[in-house]
Structure 1
Amino acid sequence: MTKEQERARARRRHEEQQKTAKPPVGDATRDKQVFGVILAVILVIAAVIAVPKIVGSSDTPSAASTAPATQPTDGATTSSGGLAAGQKLAAGCTAPPALQAKPKQQTTVPSKATAAGKTFVATVKTTCGDLVLELDGAKAPQTVASFLNLAKTGYWAPSPCHRLTTEGIYVLQCGDPTGTGQGDPGYGFGIENAPKDGRYPRGVLAMARTQDPNSNGGQFFITYKETQLPTDGGGYTIFGKVTKGLDIVDKIAAGGLVAAGEPTPVNPISILSVTVTEKKA
């Protein structure tokens, strides 16, 4: 091959390489590409930040226990009286009155000497009829003394029975003028006459309390079926029994609850007044 032919072949190879080779990237072009990448990243980050959270709070209300010693639960009676959502009147009942604007408060626990060794009869006038209770001052003198005091001062006039339990534990709880389950008369006292086996027969009148054994105050409950309650912490004071009107409690219980897991009875009942007399032998 002549030198002229070699030069011609070399020239053709060079031309072919030039056709397939990528053009070099200039500084300006490179800067544009880098800027484009950065801008894209910024836009993605901004979009993520701008998206609203759709996952709700992980905080959920603690489940309410069914025992009368549970943490307070909201009642349903409205501050202006009448029926709350989901409630209706049972036969023979009238609409609940408005809650007390300012429930009476005291600071001194009444002397148990006023009730010790005595038996009393309490008539509880309600929006669904009268409940008659027999109070045992011999077995629960402090509790009965407190009940006498609160009745005399009109502490419960009026107040709703804010809590009903219908599964496992069968009680109607009353005695809080605020209707929230958090009210107390301003004092507290300890447990008396609590059954060691935790058995509460139908028609028993007992004190409700928190986990504090000295938190007995103004709230009490009536068992409309035999109920087994925990004995941890000392149990619950039995201080009497229903002698008349338990059919009224049965009627309220039969109406059930406004919502599952909630304490509000479908059929409301409120205390209007309480009068107490000593039972003579």
Structure 2
Amino acid sequence: MTKQQERARARRRQQGPQRATEAPVSESTRDKQLFGGILAVILVVAAFVAVPHFLPKGDPTPQSAPTQAGSATGAALQEGQQLAAGCEQPPPLQTTPKTFAKVPDKKAAAGKTFVASVHTTCGDITFELNGAKAPQTVASFNFLAKEGYWAPSPCHRVTSAGIFVLQCGDPTGSGSGDPGYGYGVENAPKDGVYPAGTLAMARTQDPNSNGGQFFIAYEETKLPTDGGGYTIFGKVTKGLDVVKKIAAKKALPPNTNDGTPVSPISILSVEVTEKKA
């Protein structure tokens, strides 16, 4: 045997015990690892399914990132966010958003027209509310405004591909908040077309999940009619330019067509008055 062969045999003898000390993976360990992987997948899927108040299936990759709370002088901007011209720093999120036990009586709004003045960090937006066509929705909107439910609350979602809306009305900023009650669809267009300036309710796939979240169509938008569509309860009569200013900057990456606005905007207060004939 040559010296080179003797050295090779010595190296093999030395390496053998090192390999033997590596703990083998038992069948029970492999089963636990497999179960853990499956559980992780289930949790991820469940998280996407559970998040409510998005527009329906068919919109481009529905996502809505939470807004970060900040100091007493204003909310901290998320990475990549920039204030649009004429906008102020948003306030922090509400510490404990209000919830309510029952749906407001629709008789309070039936057959009436109202004007809502929505004061935001980027200027005022005025709505005309149609209690004749959507009495339950308008009664709920008026009640939540009076109770200060949205004071303050961020508009947490903007979309800009096929669907052109700014979605607001969730004090938690997460896209999953509600006032503690829900009700059904009213006055939804049969063709699914929502003209620019339309004010409508956001909901989950459950038609009875209308609550506090609403959206403003800043361009004509066509939505699926599954589940009865989306309640139109009014229109923007002033301030649509404010919405368009926010929409122009789109959403934060990775999906700039659907998500948290690059230019943040928050509702500060809402005042509603009845419009007399």
Question: Same fold by TM (over 0.5)?
Answer: yes
Deviation per CA, 1:9-30: give whole Å up to 9, x if none. xxxxxxxxxxxxxxxxxxxxxx
How far, CA to CA, are the matches of 1:168 and 1:257 in structure 2?
A: 14
Shift of 1:247: 0.3
* 1:120-269 paired onto structure 2 within 5 Å: 120-261=114-255, 263-269=259-265
TM-score if structure 2 supplies the norm length?
0.79
| Equivalent residue in structure 2 for 1:68, among 46, 55, 63 | 55
Distance 2:63 2:82 in 1: 23
Q: How do 1:96-107 and structure 2 match up within 5 A?
A: 96-107=90-101
Q: Which residue of 2 aligns with 1:272?
A: 268
- Name structure 2 gaps, 5 residues minimum: 1-11, 26-32
Q: Would the aligned equivalents of 1:77 and 1:160 in 2 still touch at CA under 8 Å?
A: no
Structure 1 letter corresponding to 2:267: I
Report the alpha carbon displacement of residue 118 of structure 1 after superposing the two structures with TM.
Answer: 0.4
**Closer, same or farther in 2 for the Cα pair 1:47/1:82, shift >3 Å?**
same
* Higher Rg: 1
Q: CA RMSD in A?
A: 2.9
Contact 1:69 1:208 in 2 (8 A): no
1:55-94 correspondence runs (5 A): 59=41, 62=48, 68-69=55-56, 73-80=64-71, 81-94=75-88
Tell me, yes or no, if the aligned pair for 1:68 and 1:173 is still in contact at 8 Å: no
Query: Helix, strand or coil for the counterpart of 1:205?
Result: strand
The number of residue pairs the alignment matches comes to 241
Q: Is residue 42 of structure 2 the alignment partner of residue 46 of structure 1?
A: no
Indicate if the aligned counterparts of 2:52 and 2:175 stay in contact, CA closer than 8 A.
no
Residue aligning to 1:12: none
CA shift at 1:221, angstroms?
0.1
2 CA distance for matches of 1:263 and 1:41? 56
Q: Decide whether the 8 Å contact of 2:52 with 2:204 is kept in 1.
A: no
Q: What is the identity percentage for the equivalent residue pairs of Structure 1 and Structure 2?
A: 63
Show the counterpart of 2:6: none
- Matched letter for residue 111 of structure 2: G
Equivalent-residue separation in structure 2 for 1:65 and 1:260 (angstroms): 21
Using the alignment, how far apart are the partners of 1:231 and 1:113 within structure 2?
Answer: 27
Moved more, 61-70 or 223-232: 61-70
Of stretches 62-71 and 181-190 in structure 1, the one that deviates more from structure 2 is: 62-71
1:194-229 deviations in Å (ceiling 9; x for gaps) = 001110110100000001100000000000110010
Secondary structure of 1:131's counterpart equals: strand
Mapped to 2, the partners of 1:236 and 1:79 lie a distance apart of: 33
| Residue aligning to 2:108 | 114
Q: Mind listing any 5+ residue stretches in structure 1 that lack a counterpart?
A: 1-35
Q: Would you say the 8 A contact 1:163–1:173 is kept in 2?
A: yes
TM-score (norm 1): 0.78
SS across alignment from 2:233: strand
Q: 1:95 aligns with which of 89, 92, 96?
A: 89
Alpha-carbon deviations, 1:72-130, whole Å to 9, x = none? 73332425413111101000000100000001110110000000000000000000000
Provide Cα deviations, 1:145-184, integer angstroms capped at 9, x if missing partner: 0000000000000000000111110100000000001110
Letter in 2 for 1:43: R
